[in-house]
Structure 1
């Protein structure tokens, strides 16, 4: 099986180029572009739900568009998707679930 040419990734790479200008002031996410899903640009934020929220807001995504789930007992995961500059964009934020503390009344 032959690999697609680099131009197959034009949509997510263009979106990334736009982001580097329009949103240069925001936290840098972890980035993923793949020939498996050539139209998808993934931006992920590890231990940075604030960064996720800043990007969500900058992209005009409503809080209601965000899905929430948990991985195991320690990690919360926020996900939102949209189309941007011809690419499918997926934002994912990972954060710790605060440990429940059991205290006694003094």
Structure 2
């Protein structure tokens, strides 16, 4: 990147954020990230501490018309955090939708018929 970006260069994702806020006010509020590092991307993330992140992810994925086949699932933090990531387009910019959820430990996993899940 040569020189500092201007706020005008972030107009695309900021407009998309405005559209998302107007079009989907009923959906769970995500964390929002607009950065000069990726000036054509609006990032929305959902964390288990603020909502049921995977259920909220599905609501947002459906609203933004992100196809299920492009969603990636992986585990990070030594197997302690599950992550869903989907990419799509909305309002003329790229959207990155991410959800994080804590993986239940063996001690807190449900027991079915005396056998840990």
Report the TM-score when normalising by structure 2: 0.82
Structure 2: runs of 5 or more not aligned: none
Structure 1: runs of 5 or more not aligned: none
Alignment of structure 1 residues 49-60 onto 2, 5 Å: 49-60=54-65
Cα RMSD between the aligned structures? Answer: 1.8
Alignment of structure 1 residues 1-106 onto 2, 5 Å: 2-47=3-48, 48-71=53-76, 72-100=78-106, 101=109, 105=114
Moved over 4 A (4+): 101-105
**CA 1:7–1:54: 2 relative to 1, 3 Å:** same
**CA 1:16–1:102: 2 relative to 1, 3 Å:** closer
Report the TM-score when normalising by structure 1: 0.89
SS of residue matched to 1:39: strand
RCO comparison, higher one (Cα < 8 Å, 6+): 1
How many residues are matched? 105
